[in-house]
Structure 1
């Protein structure tokens, strides 16, 4: 079975319409390319947010840069960069535009899922597509269920494969993807992922994402109506959590990378505004607002928190690397806890920096022409993905009672 013989025309057309993706060979190159991408996509980030304009051209530039393939294993042609590098790449891109930084989150998640539990055919087939610049979206979460982990979407056996039916929300990136991995339950009630090509009969993706933050992730509704899925396109995803693997920590460190980028962006714009526009308070005889000692104190506090977040993010990546090399109950639990710590601080720092921006910059900073509220809006929206109050609980229970955290994508 060859790539050309199994791709839908719409998928082939999407691949052909974009330049062949660059293949990144090292961690150092990944960081350098991330800075190039960030400089390119930052130019109209505020305008895209204000207009809810989807980043179609920008996403093409991003995926064809090779950054969406950096976690493909070396034996399949990828760089298999460290997880610290992965998190830093996401943070660099998210500082420029966190909506674009979030979009490859589930793509990268599925690359790891394939590495862990894909058949040899699936690895060769899908990793080759990824290195060509093909993008996976997602149709994972549903609304109206008891918890985020409950799934009503079903995969039913039929001749030659399966029929897939259900309805999803929070489908970040699906509208702009080439393939849509779908979380479903199979006939044995096991959690699986069905890879659905764009253009498949019965697949409808609706651009109805109306959140006040992360406005251009296209995280709307996906409708699945009796879609035929070949058996080769089904991944037994439950296996990644039936045993100790770094699947959950990798999902979470990408989330923390997005929040770290938002925190950096909010601090960056605070420094620029205070330096160039903010006036001193009337109870001082200072000439410039940037000389205000109380402002300087708060700026220092935020900078320290951003640097601490950077350090915890890098540390968490190192723990995941260890878990990938030697996955067991201890290494995976340690990785989950390390990422939880990074997730707590990245969440709280992004929210604080997004709010303090206005307090330190002053009333003028709230004007619509600057659109500086996007930093707090983006932080508040993205950090709702998994509540940090449960991260505190997991860390406390681990260090005090030696209780390992649960295994799922949210820890």
Structure 2
């Protein structure tokens, strides 16, 4: 080992020179996006020009070996993160669907896409050890069950067909997120509110070997909004081959979600003929949708005029925060929290002795990052000195 390129303690013995030899430019871009930093900010952190950081990311040049530890420190990753050779979940905006595309900046979308890529990388690492549920999503090209099965192109008909295909019956969809995972869709909820992604409700992608959905809590930690977002993203996955970012796709996904969660034939007999907020609140809890969405459903199905619906929204706003009309945190509904990756890790831990640190080393992440995405805590006992 050359003295001018020492190894970094605690990082598996890899040297900056070794990382320089196998430096992978897309990993730098991924790390920068995940850190929410601009090229200028990274450049200032390591003492080079923004143009130099741009060249590192395009691969036209590489950071000097002595800069790599500083680069890793600024971006909050181990130096091994920049090594080539590991599977990388790489996406672009045409491969993902954002509910709030117009109000979402390019930087926010880039960070979200790279978060999705990391979730897939973790799923891939776990799938090497544990058999995850088979992908059972009609129309998904990577599906293992009937990959050639297509749903109708009309959103409402597609929702009805998917309910029938998944044998969900005619009533409320219980444990929606658990249903998604059961059919092979990877679902992730970021562990905490993220200011840089505050305008992102949810997004999904079918551009990776597994369909993937990220549901955030940044705008409202409310289980009914959470469930509608999940159904909306499911609509994108089954209806749209690629994201165009236009309002038509968003309207179609909304129509799919409404019919999937509250099928017209099933919900219509229960909707009040006069706008009764108390009755709608009861229906809200039964069907797992918000009172607001039920008001919209009444108008959509011809039970209320635009004026009546508008007055109902005003009355509903006056009740915001009151018992029965306040947001219900997602954590209170276990069936709406993703568990597939966490359970896969626990199974690999039990059967194969897998640890967070081993998984982190394989992914070239910090152990804390693995814990964040899995939603697990360090299992080792904590020494307390008194």
TM over 0.5: no
TM-score (normalizing by structure 2): 0.28
* Higher normalized strand content (fraction of residues): 1
